[in-house]
Structure 1
Amino acid sequence: MYTHILVPTDGSELSDKATQAAIELAKRLGARLHAFTVTEPYPYSPLAEAQPILPQEFLDAARSQADRFLKRVRELAAAAGVACEGSHVEAAQPWRAICERAGELGCHCIVMASHGRSGLAGLLLGSETQKVLTHCQLPVLVVR
């Protein structure tokens, strides 16, 4: 049924819960995991007078952080005996990157966290999970 599962991670505690759920599901189904993280593009214009951080510094820090997140998922999966690869992409719309990566890899489902924002906060801040649920054709298991 589900032999390839995508698990997006942002390094948060909730994301760790989704990772654990994805690992358990993969183990029970004999599936493999693909850990995935999205970082935002450099937020400052190269033409701006002031840049609090240089573009290369920003990119290096983002890559380093993404590598840490992915390494953690791979280690947890390995400890459970679950095959896991990982990848990282820079994108302005994480939900879109998640849907696209799942499709590119031929994943059968996505396991991801929801931060549980509702009401005005959910409306203003948006929900990447809600957007994945709305736009992705794959089954999505949401962990809270």
Structure 2
Amino acid sequence: MPNSILIPTDGSEYAENASEVGFDLAERMGATVHALAVGDVNLTEVSSVGGGPPRTKDDVTKIAAKWADELTASAEARGLEAEAVVRSGTPADEIVEYATEIDADMIVIGTAGRSGFERRILGSVTDKVVRTAPLPVVTVRPDGSVDAA
């Protein structure tokens, strides 16, 4: 089976930093990039007084599709073979499930740089992926430095 690298994206600068590292690795390995964006169904339940209406599953999935398409276009602009993948669900679970389905060689994912109380309260998609993925996970910090788990 050809080499494959899964690069999840949430449209953030952290995901963009991780994608650059992932693209470099894909070039070296001759790997296909799988650009995965997850429409976070947990966000469909969020609403605030005075804010806009809660988002639907379709809303979050359309946003995720845009992120996956943008990441795929960036990979292809570097001459890489890339595939845009969109899922709906809980991001960490969907990332690990998809990586397992395609038998990815690794996941390259960004971190948001949270620590302490904020991280415990907000949780972390990256932390859960690192803890549950049955394959290597390369994490890219906000400053662009790389860790491997």
TM score, norm. by length of structure 1: 0.85
Cα distance, 1:75 vs structure 2: 1.0
SS at match of 2:80: coil
SS at match of 1:35: strand
Aligned equivalent of 2:72 = 74
Aligned equivalent of 1:7 = 7
Q: Where do 4+ consecutive residues of structure 1 move more than 6 Å?
A: none
Determine the C-alpha separation between the residues in 2 that align with 1:67 and 1:39. 8
Moved more, 57-66 or 95-104: 57-66
Aligned equivalent of 1:86 = 84
Determine the C-alpha separation between the residues in 1 that align with 2:78 and 2:53. 42
Determine the C-alpha separation between the residues in 2 that align with 1:61 and 1:35. 19
Question: What is the correspondence of 1:25-104 to structure 2 with a 5 Å cutoff?
Answer: 25-41=25-41, 42-43=44-45, 52-53=53-54, 58-91=56-89, 93-104=90-101
Aligned equivalent of 2:107 = 110
Cα distance, 1:52 vs structure 2: 2.7
Correspondence for 2:139 among 124, 138, 142:
142
Cα distance, 1:103 vs structure 2: 0.4
Do the aligned residues in 1 keep the contact of 2:38 with 2:61 (CA within 8 Å)? Answer: no
Identity value in percent: 35
SS at match of 1:36: strand
Cα distance, 1:60 vs structure 2: 3.5
Determine the C-alpha separation between the residues in 2 that align with 1:96 and 1:67. 18
Moved more, 60-69 or 120-129: 60-69
Cα distance, 1:11 vs structure 2: 0.2
TM score, norm. by length of structure 2: 0.82
Deviations along 1:41-79, one digit per CA (max 9) or x if unpaired, are 2327xxxxxx934xxx73343232112111111111111
- What is the root-mean-square deviation of aligned Cα atoms in Å? 1.8
- Between the two proteins, the alignment pairs up a number of residues equal to 133
Bigger Cα Rg: 1
Q: Is 2:133 the partner of 1:133?
A: no
Determine the C-alpha separation between the residues in 2 that align with 1:62 and 1:82. 27
Amino acid at match of 1:130: D
Determine the C-alpha separation between the residues in 2 that align with 1:123 and 1:67. 29
